């Protein structure tokens, strides 16, 4: 019988464990512990870091994990690099469930930047009404540009106020809807969106809304990840496990 560990924190991981549970394949879902109220899941959940690649390798061995699936967010570069290394050390079969990046379509006005510091640098200039769709981890960096008004959409209320003098917080979690996102952008008179190129459907609504309203997007490219076996759909993960 397989014993699967899914590294999660994404809609794809949640969908994968639902499919594994439905197929009667034993799995554990692992969260970093960033979100305060994770949704109930149909499989056992463990929460918190493993202690680097070595800690994860020890977990794989100690818990006799037969399959490791990295279904974390494409910007979670540390855990993804650790997963590759740990699977190799422990000799555990490994697969990544990833999302293709978004690509600009006709009507999109994207400016691509390689990382968060480049996104911050690109915001030099006169005041704008910016929707900062990045999650709470990176808000502090944007304190370099206090001249803008920032609309922040976060999963949990921040424990300390963001260092942005003019901001408005909305607490909500995906998946989002393009009509609702367009209404939100209009209500806040948004003139620029800053987004990570996450890919997938859960957070795409803001890009559809931006295209419709002609709002430019500052798109942050993904961090580099090691070469690894990867698939884009849940059925392919199930095939790999049951092969």
Burial of 93 (0-12, 13-18, 19+ CB in 10 A): middle
Segment 105-134, which members bind ligand NAP (CB under 6 A)? none
Minimum CB distance to ligand NAP smaller for 76 or for 241: 76
Q: Is residue 82 within 8 Å of 30, Cβ to Cβ?
A: no
Q: Is 139 in the site for ligand NAP (CB under 6 A)?
A: no
Burial of 95 (0-12, 13-18, 19+ CB in 10 A): buried
Q: Is residue 171 within 8 Å of 156, Cβ to Cβ?
A: yes
Closest approach of ligand NAP to the CB of residue 116, in Å: 10
Q: Is 55 in the site for ligand NAP (CB under 6 A)?
A: yes
Question: What distance in Å separates the CA atoms of residue 180 and residue 178, rounded to the nearest whole number?
Answer: 5
Minimum CB distance to ligand NAP smaller for 98 or for 192: 98
Q: Is 51 in the site for ligand NAP (CB under 6 A)?
A: yes
Q: Name residues whose C-beta falls within 8 Å of residue 116's C-beta, 6 or more positions apart in sequence.
A: 134, 138, 141, 220
Q: Is 97 in the site for ligand NAP (CB under 6 A)?
A: no
Closest approach of ligand NAP to the CB of residue 106, in Å: 27
Closest approach of ligand NAP to the CB of residue 14, in Å: 11
Q: Is 77 in the site for ligand NAP (CB under 6 A)?
A: yes
Draw the binding track, 14-43, toward ligand NAP (x: CB under 6 A; -: no contact): ----------------xxx-x---------
Closest approach of ligand NAP to the CB of residue 166, in Å: 24
Closest approach of ligand NAP to the CB of residue 11, in Å: 9
Segment 185-204, which members bind ligand NAP (CB under 6 A)? 196
User: Angle 14-16-22 (CA atoms, 0-180°, nearest 5)?
Assistant: 105
Q: At 3, list the tokens.
A: 């014993």
Minimum CB distance to ligand NAP smaller for 141 or for 212: 141
Residue from 52, 93, 202, 216 that binds ligand NAP (CB under 6 A)?
52
Residues near ligand NAP, by CB under 6 A: 7-10, 30-32, 34, 49-52, 55-56, 72-73, 75-79, 82, 135, 196
């Amino acid at each position: 019988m397989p014993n699967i560990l899914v590294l999660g924190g994404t809609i794809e991981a949640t969908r994968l464990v639902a499919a594994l549970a439905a197929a009667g394949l034993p799995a554990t879902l692992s969260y970093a512990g960033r979100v305060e109220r994770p949704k109930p899941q149909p499989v056992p959940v463990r929460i918190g870091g493993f202690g680097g690649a070595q800690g994860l390798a020890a977990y794989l061995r100690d818990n006799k994990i037969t399959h490791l699936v990295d279904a974390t967010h494409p910007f979670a570069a540390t855990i993804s690099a650790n997963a590759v290394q740990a699977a190799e050390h422990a000799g555990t079969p490994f697969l990544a469930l990833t999302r293709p990046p978004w690509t600009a379509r006709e009507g999109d006005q994207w400016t691509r930047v390689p990382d968060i510091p480049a996104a911050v640098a690109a915001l030099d200039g006169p005041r704008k009404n910016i929707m900062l769709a990045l999650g709470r981890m990176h808000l502090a960096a944007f304190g370099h540009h206090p001249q803008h008004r920032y609309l922040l959409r976060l999963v949990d209320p921040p424990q300390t106020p963001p260092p942005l003098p003019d901001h408005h917080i909305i607490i909500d979690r995906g998946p989002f809807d393009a009509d609702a996102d367009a209404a939100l952008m209009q209500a806040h008179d948004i003139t620029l969106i800053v987004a990570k190129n996450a890919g997938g459907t859960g957070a795409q609504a803001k890009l559809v809304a931006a295209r419709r309203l002609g709002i430019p997007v500052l798109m942050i490219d993904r961090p580099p990840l090691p070469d690894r076996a990867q698939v884009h759909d849940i059925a392919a993960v199930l095939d790999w496990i049951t092969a």
